[in-house]
A and B are shown apart, each in its own frame.
Chain A
Amino acid sequence: MSDGSNNKKMSIIVTKGTLDWAYPPFILASTAASLDVDVTMFFTFYGLQLLKKDVSHLQISTLGNPGMEMPMMGMHMTMPNIVSMIPGVDAMASSMMKNLIKKKGVASIEELRDICVESDVKIIGCQMTLDLFEWTPDIMIPEMQLGGAATYMGKALESDINLFI
């Protein structure tokens, strides 16, 4: 819980719903909260995936991702775009990534999200996205509050740091 000793505020717009892109917003939000920063996260479009109760379905995409280099058998493996079209390749790459995450002592998304919730990070889900994708609040974590662009602007205008991820 923030004790507010430094009076700083941060907002993050979270727009991406893949396993790799789930990390930057949750790492920054949990760390900022640990540094006594008052944090608000606004989840919109694919970012809203990260607020589902179950996030075990999150995957990385190998398509158009030349920066992805997985350590494998002492080498580094990249994925040409044509390989991405083979069914099951993303699932395989995602499970390799999850194994690496465990092996290297990196936190899981569930763990980081739990810490955000425990540290009073405000979690706002985009009402319009929920409606657009026909998702109901009961599949989302109960800490999610619904809001819209104006809710975000209200937070952003009073924040010291505003990020779009």
Chain B
Amino acid sequence: MATQTLDTKGMNCPLPILKTKKAIKGLNAGETLEVLSTDPGSVKDMEAFCKSTGNKLLDSKDNGGVYTYIIEKS
């Protein structure tokens, strides 16, 4: 179970990433954020975001049009 959930369904690039950044800022190291998105581009974007910021992408799933990500704050 993630510490916090962020719903970005219906938002287009780059809003899911910008909102994710804001939500991650409010977490402590080791806490997790679940992000929901309907943007197909967010699959690669979330990988790039985590790679660049050093946060860990624990899980990335496509549940039939809704993408779910679990990110652990480093």
Contacts and interface: CB of A to CB of B under 8 A. Distances in A.
A33 B20 CA distance: 12
Interface in B34-53: 48-49, 52-53
Given A1-B25, A34-B21, A35-B48, A27 B14 contact: yes
Nearest to A36: B53
A34 B45 CA distance: 11
A31 B17 contact: yes
A121 B53 CA distance: 16
A12 interface: no
B18 interface: yes
Interface string B1-30: 000000000111111011011000100000
Interface in A29-51: 30-31, 33-37
Interface residues of A, number: 18
A35 to B, nearest CB: 4
B17 A105 contact: no
B54 interface: yes
Contacts of B49: 34-35
Contacts of A36: 52-53
A105 B11 contact: yes
Given A34-B21, A35-B48, A107 B54 contact: no
A31 B13 CA distance: 9
11 contacts: A6-B53, A8-B52, A34-B20, A34-B21, A35-B52, A105-B12, A107-B11, A107-B12, A107-B15, A115-B18, A119-B21
6 smallest A-B Cβ distances: which pairs?
A: A34-B21, A35-B52, A31-B14, A105-B12, A105-B10, A105-B11
